[in-house]
Amino acid sequence: MRLRFDDHDRDALGMTYVYPVVSRRARGVSIGINLNPNNACNWRCVYCQVPDLTQGKAPPVDLALLEEELTAMLERLVHSDWMERNVPEGSRRLNDIAFSGNGEPTSADAFPEVVALVRRKLDAFPSLAPTKLVLITNGSLVHLEHVQRGLVHLAAGRGEVWFKLDGGTDAFLARFNGDRVGAQRRERNLALAARLAPTWVQTMALAWNGEPPPEREREAYLALLGRVLAGGSRLEGVHLYGLARPSHQVEAPDLSPLDPAWMEAFADRIRALGLEVTVSV
């Protein structure tokens, strides 16, 4: 198996939970932990790249199998020529271990136990000690106690949260993300996540039927971020993404990337809040 920059196939190694991807931007390998092999999420984002996405939560995690797969993967990285054989030159380093998969990872009841297990495994490979942990989450469950325990483990293990925030009004979040709970809970959960662990906001901006997000939506999004900051929460910054890979949802034909100049102009408005912003188009 040779990893390609454009190939994020989560079945690449035939494992249930663990999959490697290589990132051109990070110039390194990311080990993904997919806690949703059932392709189930509590949201339905129009741009979601999960094929056959269903509504639901992660199934019970087989912690023994996850540990076995992760150990095998880390052994390969440290004690074999796996990198030389499978990863393009210039990217042969482990950049991070990411809780990111075919659904919302924090919907797994065992999420805190999984984070603790991954930390323990990393500690068993001293040469991988600087590797950071990343939780890629829609943030919808941060108010739950088991998720908060997971975030505490994450923060203790050089981890960070990437919290999805694509808009600032109930109507937009319902249409764009399938989030029926709304903006107030988004705001509270973002502030809570930021108190528990270093937190980046991840934001997708795209054109839908040729139209960028309406100005009132951008204003509501900026106001929400501003209130979180004014409330004393520290945010690491914002990762602003464009539509780089095709959606697997029915809306796919109606979605298109925004002009890079539009993305930069929006990034500047976020920077005006005092936040660092990275832009990927």
Q: What tokens does 43 get?
A: 């949201």
37 binds ligand SF4, rule: CB under 6 A: no
Distance set, CA 212 to CA 48, 163, 169 (Å): 18, 21, 15
Q: Of the candidates 22, 33, 50, 58, which one interacts with ligand SF4 according to CB under 6 A?
A: 50
Distance CA 22, CA 6 (A): 8
Measured N-to-C along each axis, helices 145-156 and 183-196 cross at an angle, to the nearest 10 degrees, of: 40
Under rule CB under 6 A, residue 203 binds ligand SF4: no
Closest contact distance (angstroms) between CB of 31 and ligand SF4 is: 18
At closest approach, how far in Å is the CB of 70 from ligand SF4? 21
Q: Please state the closest distance from residue 125 (CB atom) to ligand SF4, in A.
A: 29
Residue in 103, 112, 159, 167 binding ligand SF4, rule: CB under 6 A: 103
| Residue of the chain from 18, 48, 243, 270 that contacts ligand SF4 (CB under 6 A) | 48
- Pick from 17, 19, 43, 163: which binds ligand SF4 (CB under 6 A)? 43
Stretch that binds ligand SF4, among 41-49, 76-84, 124-132, 219-227 (CB under 6 A): 41-49
Residue among 43 and 221 whose Cβ is closer to ligand SF4: 43
* Contact (Cβ atoms closer than 8 angstroms) between residue 229 and residue 273: yes
Of 104, 160, 187, 217, the one binding ligand SF4 (CB under 6 A) is: 104
Residue nearer to ligand SF4 on the CB measure, 57 or 121: 57
20: contact with ligand SF4 by CB under 6 A: no
> Nearer to ligand SF4 by C-beta: 165 or 270?
165
Per CB under 6 A, 44 contacts ligand SF4: yes
E strand or H helix at 189: helix 183-196
Rounded to a whole number of angstroms, the minimum distance from the CB of residue 10 to ligand SF4 is 12
Tokens of 11: 């079945």
Nearer to ligand SF4, 95 or 138 (CB): 138
Q: What is 2-59 written as a DSSP string? A: ---TT---TTTT--SSEEEEEETTTTEEEEEE-S-TT-EES---TT---TT-EES-PP
Counting contacts by CB under 6 A, is residue 41 touching ligand SF4? yes
Shortest gap between Cβ of 50 and ligand SF4 (angstroms)? 5
Say how far apart CA 77 and CA 94 lie, in whole Å.
Answer: 8
Considering only 95, 107, 138, 169, the residue that binds ligand SF4 (CB under 6 A) is 138
CB of 104 to ligand SF4, least distance (A): 5
* Long-range contacts at 228-235 (CB < 8 A, ≥ 24 apart): 228/187, 228/190, 228/191, 228/194, 229/273, 229/274, 229/275, 231/191, 233/190, 233/191, 233/194, 233/195, 233/199, 234/194, 235/190, 235/194, 235/199, 235/200, 235/201, 235/275
- Minimum Å gap between C-beta 15 and ligand SF4 is 19
What's the CA gap between 125 and 157, in Å, rounded?
14
Residue 268, Cβ neighbours under 10 Å: how many? Answer: 11
Binding site for ligand SF4 (CB under 6 A): 41, 43-45, 48, 50, 53, 103-104, 138
